[in-house]
Amino acid sequence: MKLDRHDKLLIIGDSVTDAGREYPIGYGNGLGSGYPALVDGLLRTGYPELNSVVLNVGIGGNTVRDLKSRWQKDVLDLKPDWLCVMIGINDVWRQFSTPEVIQSFITLEEYESTLRELLSAVQPNVKGLILMTPFYMSGQEDPMRSMMDRYGAVVKRIAGDYGAELVDTQAGFDRMGHHMIQSSLSNGWDHVHPNTTGHMVLARGVLNALDFEWNR
């Protein structure tokens, strides 16, 4: 297990991370109904001696630009020991949902440069980083999935450059897709917002990145 006693794990992202959390900071019983709460519950039962703290500062609709605007308040000021970031779904989604609003698009270049800027600001002050790829629960023939994979490739490259732990969320959903329709893991089959099983796919990815021992 890579977490030390009393370590603070901060998770930031969009609505997939938010999942109905309490504001201004989700923790304890206010972590929401998504993967941050599952990570917290499994850490507390699997490693009660660590007394770790999980914080959820996901906000629905966020893009990497939004993360930049609140990075000081919601990341740097909270002084996490470990930081987990999953962003990019809305950066891609809006290019399909509102294609006429060209000025709002987050290009691949802006996505990468902004994410690197944010990580460079926090890396000297944390013990470790976890980067989660954005995902879309569909086959590779779907144009939005194809673009999501390109943004995911950026996350993989950045994780290597920063020595971060990588959670390939898309690979996790693709593995499930060998046994079921991927979108059945989302609420309302929208391909993006996971149901409980889908959130467990994400939670397992985060915990595996931390070397969680499942047989404890």
CATH of the domain at 71: 3.40.50.1110
Average pLDDT score over residue span 155-169: 97
Q: Is pLDDT above 90 for 132? A: yes
Which tokens in the block code for residue 216? 């404890």
Asked whether the CA dihedral 168, 172, 177, 178 is positive or negative, the reply is positive
Q: Is pLDDT above 70 for 167? A: yes
Give domain status of residue 1, yes or no: no
Give domain status of residue 25, yes or no: yes
Q: Which residue has the tokens 């609140």?
A: 70
Which tokens in the block code for residue 165? 């732990």
pLDDT for the residue 207: 98
pLDDT for the residue 69: 97
pLDDT for the residue 125: 95
Asked whether the CA dihedral 30, 32, 37, 41 is positive or negative, the reply is positive
Average pLDDT score over residue span 172-191: 81
Give domain status of residue 26, yes or no: yes
Give domain status of residue 2, yes or no: no
pLDDT for the residue 44: 95
DSSP-assigned letter for residue 210: T
pLDDT for the residue 19: 95
Number of domains in the chain: 1
Residues of the chain with pLDDT > 90: what percent? 74
User: Considering only CA atoms, which of 210, 214, 213 is closest in space to residue 84?
Assistant: 210
Give domain status of residue 3, yes or no: no
Sheet with 53-56, strands from edge to edge, namely: 53-56, 8-13, 82-86, 128-132, 165-167
Q: Is pLDDT above 90 for 46? A: yes
Active-site annotation, residues: 15, 190, 193
pLDDT for the residue 93: 80
Which tokens in the block code for residue 63? 């893009």
pLDDT for the residue 98: 66
Give domain status of residue 86, yes or no: yes
CA 205 to chain centre: 10
Output Rg (C-alpha) for the chain, integer angstroms.
16
Range of the domain at 200: 8-209
Residues 78-91 have pLDDT tens digits of: 999 999 999 999 99
Residues of the chain with pLDDT > 70: what percent? 97
State the Cα angle at 78 between 74 and 80, rounded to 5°: 110
Average pLDDT score over residue span 111-129: 97
Average pLDDT score over residue span 146-163: 96
Distance, first Cα to last Cα, the chain = 11
Give domain status of residue 216, yes or no: no
Q: 144 vs 194, which has greater pLDDT?
A: 194
Average pLDDT score over residue span 93-108: 73
